[in-house]
Structure 1
Amino acid sequence: MYSKHFGLREAPFGITPDTSYFFTSPHSQEALNTLLVAAKSGEGFIKITGEVGTGKTLLCRKFIATIGPDFVTAYIPNPYLEPRTLMLALADELELPLEKDVDQHQLLKSITHRLMDLAREGKQVLLLLDEAQAIPVESLEALRLLTNLETEKRKLLQIVLFGQPELNQHLQANSIRQLAQRITFHYHLGPLSRDDIEYYIAHRLRVAGYTGGRLFSRAAISRLYKASGGIPRLVNIMANKALMLCFGEGKQQVSGRHVRLAARDTVAAGRKARWPWLAAGVSLLIAAGGLTWALTK
């Protein structure tokens, strides 16, 4: 919608995880380094936690893209599965041909043989579970039993859990205390600082093809920080709306006012009963401003 106006190849603030936009803030780089070191150690479980919107899924995808050819990765984005279904999902990720009505014994035997074959080929297998706070306790216990599989030198399977802070509470259950003891590496993804957001905005604009001067004013950056609390997903949502408002007015720089309106609209989207008129108001402002600007060109 506004890409041509600002000299962009594409919209820079989408919320779909795209590794080309991965931003190496202190938090995200430390988290990625933790994952890489932990994976190469070949030991136990790895846990990454963070609030909603802090970039866990993007980090997971960046990790998969970075880890290298000595690793085989199995990625399960929605692990809210009972133990057998979770094992079937793992088998599918490992490209195991299975009989339609395979029993539990044969299923585990096939997974074990596949893991051993990969180990003989010099491959380490990583099972990455996104939204791990949703995994049923009995499924977590099944995963722990899988990590008992090992050669004389290392585990046949490493498991990486990506989840919201509720995952920590989940792991305090007495029934899975053995799993909690096996978490050898852990990192918590925190929010971006005000300075991080300055660089984050510039980074995403640059990746999207922007080559001009300052597009977001300092006041706009400050308001983005205050309104988002440093949560990257909220920064993206509000920055995108602010750009639409700026485009609608035919201007070339996003101001603090644009971000303020975008923030109000974003809050309204989550609290419809409080400001039922605001989302429509911002849309009308964009449309009216765009029409006025077009008529003056």
Structure 2
Amino acid sequence: MYTAHFGLREAPFGITPDTSYFFTSPHSQEALNTLLVAARTGEGFIKITGEVGTGKTLLCRKFLATLGPDFVSAYIPNPYLEPRTLMLALADELDVVLDTEVDQHQLLKSITARLMELAAGGQRVLLCLDEAQAIPQVTLEALRLLTNLETEKKKLLQIVLFGQPELNRNLQADSIRQLAQRITFHYHLGPLTRDDLDFYLAHRLRVAGFTGARLFSRTAVRRLYWASGGIPRLVNIVAHKALMLAYGEGRQQVSDAHIVAAARDTIGAKRLAWPWLTAFGMVAAAGGGLAWVLAQ
């Protein structure tokens, strides 16, 4: 689409969590450090929370990719499961061979045997659950019981929960207060700051192959921050549309007008007001340009 026009190898602002685009802002680096330190302790639960679009899934994948060979990881992206189904998913992630009609006792016994086997080989097992705010309370309790599996020296399984802030409210329920007490490390992933945003844009453009001068004007960056609130997913969506608009007009730089039009076309982004009367015509023209580029 616009990649050749701007000298890019690929589109820089996709919303698929690609670890090559992981941006080490102070927030994300602190969160990653927290995960790595916590994983080394091997105790209890780890909890990472953040609003929608702040990069929890990307952080999770970066964390898993950073772990050394002494770790075995299991990743479940959709944990809205009953306890038995979740344990079957865990068994599958750990390559546990099960009979078709395995009962609950044999299921837990097989998982335990596999965890003991890995521990004997000097490997630690981490279970990462994305979208953890969706886990039913009865399944959370089952997870707590799984962490009871241990040798004389250490736990056989460590669990990392990645979820939206609703997860904190779910963990306040009396029925699972024992689980909440086992959360030994936690971190809340916030949005990008205004200063971070400039570096974030430059980082993604560089990874995508951009070698030119500033592609987003300074006023465009200010408006992009205001429109997105620093939420990386919204930044990516608005920036992508703004690049499409600049391409459609044959421009080599994204202006604040492009950001205004892109934000107006994006659900969740703040609608930007233009400071002078000619804005309506410019935004309307830019919006028409975006529709034309999308149609192409």
Q: What TM-score results when the alignment is normalised by the length of structure 2?
A: 0.92
Corresponding residue for residue 155 of structure 1: 155
Alpha-carbon distance in 1 for matches of 2:74, 2:151: 20
- Once the two structures are superposed, residues 137-169 of structure 1 have per-residue CA deviations (whole angstroms, 9 ceiling, x without a partner) of 000000100100111111000000000000000
SS at match of 2:114: helix
Alpha-carbon distance in 2 for matches of 1:38, 1:269: 35
* Aligned CA distance change for structure 1 residues 83 and 270 (closer, same or farther; 3 Å): farther
Corresponding residue for residue 238 of structure 1: 238
Q: What TM-score results when the alignment is normalised by the length of structure 1?
A: 0.92
Correspondence list, 1:278-289, <5 A: 284-286=288-290
Alpha-carbon distance in 1 for matches of 2:4, 2:158: 46
CA contact (8 A) 1:247 1:290 kept: no
Correspondence list, 1:180-191, <5 A: 180-191=180-191
- Long gaps (5+) in structure 2: 272-282
Q: CA deviation at 1:269?
A: 9.2
* Aligned CA distance change for structure 1 residues 256 and 270 (closer, same or farther; 3 Å): closer
- Once the two structures are superposed, residues 42-64 of structure 1 have per-residue CA deviations (whole angstroms, 9 ceiling, x without a partner) of 10000000000000000000000
Q: CA deviation at 1:284?
A: 3.7
- Long gaps (5+) in structure 1: 272-278, 292-297
Which stretch shifts more, 133-142 or 259-268? 259-268
Correspondence list, 1:215-254, <5 A: 215-254=215-254
Aligned length: 284
* Aligned CA distance change for structure 1 residues 65 and 78 (closer, same or farther; 3 Å): same
Corresponding residue for residue 203 of structure 1: 203
* Aligned CA distance change for structure 1 residues 245 and 110 (closer, same or farther; 3 Å): same
Corresponding residue for residue 12 of structure 2: 12
Alpha-carbon distance in 2 for matches of 1:40, 1:226: 39
SS at match of 1:95: coil
CA contact (8 A) 1:248 1:290 kept: no
CA contact (8 A) 2:263 2:269 kept: no
Q: CA deviation at 1:26?
A: 0.4
- Once the two structures are superposed, residues 241-273 of structure 1 have per-residue CA deviations (whole angstroms, 9 ceiling, x without a partner) of 0000000000000001100110001038999xx
* Aligned CA distance change for structure 1 residues 268 and 125 (closer, same or farther; 3 Å): closer
1:176 corresponds to 2:180 = no
SS at match of 2:188: strand
Alpha-carbon distance in 2 for matches of 1:9, 1:282: 25
| % identical aligned pairs | 78
Alpha-carbon distance in 2 for matches of 1:35, 1:118: 21
Alpha-carbon distance in 2 for matches of 1:202, 1:236: 12
Corresponding residue for residue 43 of structure 1: 43
Alpha-carbon distance in 1 for matches of 2:4, 2:294: 13
Misfit runs of 4+, over 2 Å: 267-271, 279-284, 286-291
